[in-house]
Amino acid sequence: MELSSFDFLKQQDLPVGALYMVATPIGNLGDITLRALHVLNSVDGIACEDTRHSAALLQQFGIHKKCLALHEHNEIGGAQTVIQHLLNNERWAYISDAGTPGVSDPGAKLVNEVQKAGLRVIPIPGASAVSSAISAAGSVMHHSEGRFQFLGFWPNKTKERDALLHDISSSKKASIFFESPHHIKETLALLAKNLEADRQLLVCRELTKKFEQLVPLQAQDVTHWLEVAESLKGEFVIVVAGRSANSDETPEHSALLLWANALSPYMGSKEIAAVLSQTLGLTKKEAYQVALDAKSE
């Protein structure tokens, strides 16, 4: 069926003078969305993280537009060029090499400059390695009630790496980060060494691609898996379960009760739980239990 026959795509306005942040596939070209194709066919120009890389994608779908290179080294200057086009009532799109722009890719500075100029930014959602990994994480995400922290790419500097290890090991939220094939063995070994033996992980390799692999592990199993893994090539997304609450965390509970007691005269238990969850990083279940404990005192 021809793309032009999908009339519903034309029902949403495509205002001029707007920047369209378009998500592209992270490996499988089939993950391009109909809306992304419609927008890319409709804009006056496309800013690309790498014009040579994006040319293959655009050619695959028969899209012929003027392209502008806009990457981490020229993002501010490139943004001004895009802004001038938008001020001339043109529509422009931005695409990164893969996935959703601005997620560990250039795009955030561009969006900031466009918004500072008083112009509109419109997200066109699609493929994301983060949401793909989460959707298949199961029990790794379960006890944190879907709450997670995205940490971007694993740092190479020792000081930053140690800080991140501490953040991951102490957080009750699940942690998600990207790693390259060159350092994955070292990084997973560090995690295994610094996490509790039964802490759960999901190792995702080459998401959406031909040799995609998703491996659920406990920290104590990582060393053996690294020894027998058929391949450590490709891009990795790692999901680490949040830490479980310890039964001896009474002082923390006492401190939380102080917050709940202060709010108790003005709010019901559900409202108190919502405040505690949003401001102090508790799960909804933990926050509601604190609120109930405060009401019963």
| CA 79, 81, 82, 88 torsion-angle sign | positive
pLDDT at res. 294: 81
Rounded mean pLDDT, 79-99: 97
Amino acid at 100: T
Q: Which of 112, 166, 121, 128 is nearest to 25 (CA)?
A: 128
| CA 240, 157, 212, 185 torsion-angle sign | negative
Q: Which of 80, 97, 127 is at the close of a domain?
A: 127
Distance CA 144, CA 158 (A): 28
CATH classification at residue 58: 3.40.1010.10
Proportion of the chain above pLDDT 70, given as a percent: 95
pLDDT single digits (tens) 149-160:
999 999 989 999
pLDDT at res. 146: 85
Tell me the CA distances in angstroms from 126 to 24, 99, 138, 210, one per residue in order: 7, 7, 21, 19
For residues 204-226, one letter each, b for 16 or more C-beta atoms within 10 angstroms of the residue's C-beta and e for the rest, the string is bbbbbeeeeebeebbbebbeeeb
Same domain, 162 and 86: no
Residue 98 lies in a domain: yes
**Token pair for residue 71?**
């990457």
CATH classification at residue 163: 3.30.950.10
Q: Which of 214, 222, 158 is nearest to 191 (CA)?
A: 222
Phi (first) and psi of residue 240, to 5 degrees: -115, 125
Amino acid at 259: W
Helices 250-263 and 269-280: crossing angle in degrees, nearest 10, is 130
For 256, the domain range is 250-296
Same domain, 83 and 179: no
Same domain, 139 and 94: no
Same domain, 80 and 148: no
Same domain, 28 and 71: yes
Residue 272 lies in a domain: yes
Secondary structure tally for the chain: helices H, strands E: 12, 10
pLDDT single digits (tens) 244-282:
865 444 336 667 888 888 888 888 889 888 888 888 777
